[in-house]
Amino acid sequence: MAEWHEQLSDDYRGNETLANIPDVDTLAKSYLDAQSYVGGAIRIPGEDAGEEDWNAFNSKLQEKVPTLLNLPSDEEEAKAALYARLGRPQDAQGYSVEADPELLNWAYENGLSDSQVKAWVEANGARKAAQDEQSDTNLEQAMQELHKEWGYAYDQNLAAAKNAVLAFADEDTQQFLVDSGMDQHPGMICLMAKIGATLSESETKGLGGDNQFGLTPDQALTQIGEIQRNTEHPYNNIRSPGHREAVAKMEQLFNQAYPEAS
Average pLDDT, the chain: 78
Q: What does the pLDDT average to over 37-58?
A: 74
**Cα separation, 4 vs 13, whole angstroms:** 10
Closest-CA residue to 112 (of 137, 91, 133, 140) = 91
Over residues 103-130, the mean pLDDT reads 87
| DSSP conformation letters of 249-262 | HHHHHHHHHSGGG-
Give the residue with greater pLDDT, 50 vs 207: 50
Alpha helix segments (H runs only) across the chain: 10-13, 16-19, 24-40, 51-64, 75-85, 101-109, 114-150, 154-168, 171-180, 186-197, 201-204, 217-229, 243-257
| 180-218 as b/e: b if 16+ CB within 10 A | eeebeebebbeebbebbeebeeeebeeeebeeeebbbbe
Whether the per-residue pLDDT at 23 is higher than 60: the answer is yes
Q: State the greatest distance between any 2 C-alpha atoms of the chain, in Å, as a whole number.
A: 134
From residue 114, alpha-carbon distances to 82, 86, 104, 126 in Å are 14, 9, 10, 18
Which pLDDT value is given to residue 210? 42
pTM of the model: 0.34
Residues 111-121, mean pLDDT to the nearest whole number: 89
CA 244, chain centre distance (Å): 59
